[in-house]
Amino acid sequence: MNMNENEFRASQAGGLPPTYSHPYNQQPVAAAPVLTPPRPKKKRVAALVTAGTLAAAVIGGASGAAIAGLDSGSATGPATSATTVSSTTNTDVSAVAAKVLPSVVQVNVTTRQGEAIGSGVILTADGKILTNAHVVSGAVGDVTITLSDGTEYQATVLGADTKADIAVLQAKGASGLTPAALGDSGKVQVGEQVVAIGSPGGLQNTVTSGIVSALDRDLSDISSGEPDTPFGQTANTSGGPSYTAIQTDASINQGNSGGPLVNMNGEVIGINSALYSPSASSTGSVGIGFAIPINDAKTIIEQIENS
């Protein structure tokens, strides 16, 4: 049974992982940050959770795992039965999914705490991959990327920016991959329909749809204090990722981290990175997710490539 880092934390702490814990605590990967509902006239208080999955072996059979029915060995491979389209309000969602799925990968990472799972976006035919920094935080050795057709490659981390929560990987010996079309997040409008693709719970090739529910959401204004992590540590939220996000009601869950948020032209407008939870006991999407604007990601990608 495979779980992501956030799920791992959820199982140990009885809820979703703490805000921005991955890059700074060197713990298992990728889930979407979580927040507690804001109170009127007061600073927003919330628990941000990153989106990924990690191996149940690390949990030692702890209850509360959000993943069920997954093998205890390698991450669940892509399968037609694992592909879902939910909240569909436009028949074009199926066309968007068909166009973008070949450009989305599952990212499996080995950390000192166990196995973790996230998602990624193919940037170049020779295997350059975009994902979240928290997905590969604490990686030991190479990471494994799995294409939508099940093909696997080993990949190295070219660089990462923990503040922007962006990382770039390079698949070894890859060729002929299908790069995603990157859009212009500056043109995104509130209310426009979007599609999210990734591996929530290790279920690769999962597709969900919704709308852009808000823009310019400053995540640095949202904090969760210092919640305990599944490892008995206190998360330091003061130095976590800080960026202005696209907010969406497309379902984003643990394992979606690093995957694309795309418009109805099949262009990537954001990188899914966090989800909002109204309480520490919540373990799934409540219709509020956050994505890093792709224009911001492009800047970080260029900095990493030129460093």
Contacts of 45 (CB under 8 A, 6+ apart): 35, 36, 37, 38, 39, 222, 223, 224, 225
Residues counted in the chain: 307
Tell me which residue of 106, 84, 87 sits closest to 97, measured CA to CA: 84
**Euclidean distance between CA atoms 120 and 298, whole angstroms:** 14
**Euclidean distance between CA atoms 304 and 307, whole angstroms:** 5
Let me know if 126 is a catalytic residue: no
Tell me which residue of 177, 120, 175 sits closest to 143, measured CA to CA: 120
Contact 275, 289 (CB under 8 A): yes
**Euclidean distance between CA atoms 2 and 55, whole angstroms:** 4
**Euclidean distance between CA atoms 268 and 184, whole angstroms:** 8
Q: Which of 199, 224, 251, 257 is catalytic?
A: 257
Q: Which of 21, 134, 223, 296 is catalytic?
A: 134
Contact 246, 189 (CB under 8 A): no
Let me know if 165 is a catalytic residue: yes
Tell me which residue of 237, 262, 255 sits closest to 21, measured CA to CA: 237
Let me know if 277 is a catalytic residue: no
Q: Which residue numbers are catalytic?
A: 134, 165, 257
